[in-house]
Amino acid sequence: MVNNEVLADELDNQQLAWDLQMNLDRIIEENTQLAKKVQLDQLIPFIYHIQQAKRIFITAAGRSGFAMQSAAMRLMHLGLTVYYVGDTTSPAIRAGDLLIAASGSGTTGSIVKAVEKSIGAGANIVGITTNAESPLAKLCNHLVLVPAAEKEDHSKKVSTQYAGSLFEQFLLLLNDAIFQSLWKLSGQPAEELWERHANLE
């Protein structure tokens, strides 16, 4: 005798598994397509700005902030002096420093204000955004344009994911690609980077 409840649960689980696989495939495909649209000639100066900076400051908000904190960690592993804006040990930004600011909309108030203050201090600015007409894009010394959907774009023309998910995911991938290139240029072995990993965890 067939247990209808068990059968229904199995069918529900099959549907859920199918949905999960479709979601994973969709997310990977959207990021793959986005990677092909990013202009590499915007990334090369980004690398040079990092190499030439006395110190590096990083700022972003929300989920973008989590991705950029990961970027800050990797730059620290390379031996660079890097601070995440808002941390209690983050010092004043000065001339010769670099601020990397990420905002999907390019209009996030706290990010724009940090950029304006950094400009006043004589620092250089690299902005990462989806919006070429945004305040962030117009203020920065160098712009990295990521043609993902803004979080308030519900048209699903660029991404079927919720809000700014694609931009936030791609920030992590983009910064890991930047890190890989910087690591190769540094000539440091993995063992040297490993010595800088946190050891109080």
Contact yes or no for 81/55 (Cβ under 8 A): yes
11 pLDDT more than 60: yes
Percentage above 70 pLDDT, the chain: 91
Number of alpha carbons in the 13 Å side-chain half-sphere of residue 97: 26
Mean pLDDT on 24-50: 97
Domain-embedded: residue 64? yes
- Catalytic-labelled residue, pool 168, 191, 195, 201: 168
Domain-embedded: residue 28? no
Domain-embedded: residue 126? yes
Taking residue 183's Cβ as centre, other Cβ atoms within 10 Å add up to 16
Domain-embedded: residue 70? yes
Task: Please give the structure tokens belonging to residue 5.
Answer: 């409840």
pLDDT in tens, 130-186: 999 999 999 999 999 999 966 566 566 778 888 899 999 999 999 999 999 999 999
pLDDT at 8 (0 to 100):
65
CATH number, position 179: 3.40.50.10490
Per the annotation, the verdict on 168 as an active-site residue is yes
pLDDT at 189 (0 to 100):
98
Angle formed at CA 66 by CA 60 and CA 70, multiple of 5 degrees: 105
Domain-embedded: residue 133? yes
Mapped onto helix, strand or coil, the DSSP state of residue 124 is: strand
Distance, CA of 128 to CA of 111 (rounded, Å): 11
Contact yes or no for 45/164 (Cβ under 8 A): no
Number of domains comprising the chain? 1
Q: Where in the sequence is the domain holding 116, given as residue range(s)?
A: 38-187
- Which has more pLDDT, 59 or 161? 59
CA 131, distance to chain mean position in Å, is 15
pLDDT in tens, 76-112: 999 999 999 999 999 999 999 999 999 999 999 999 9
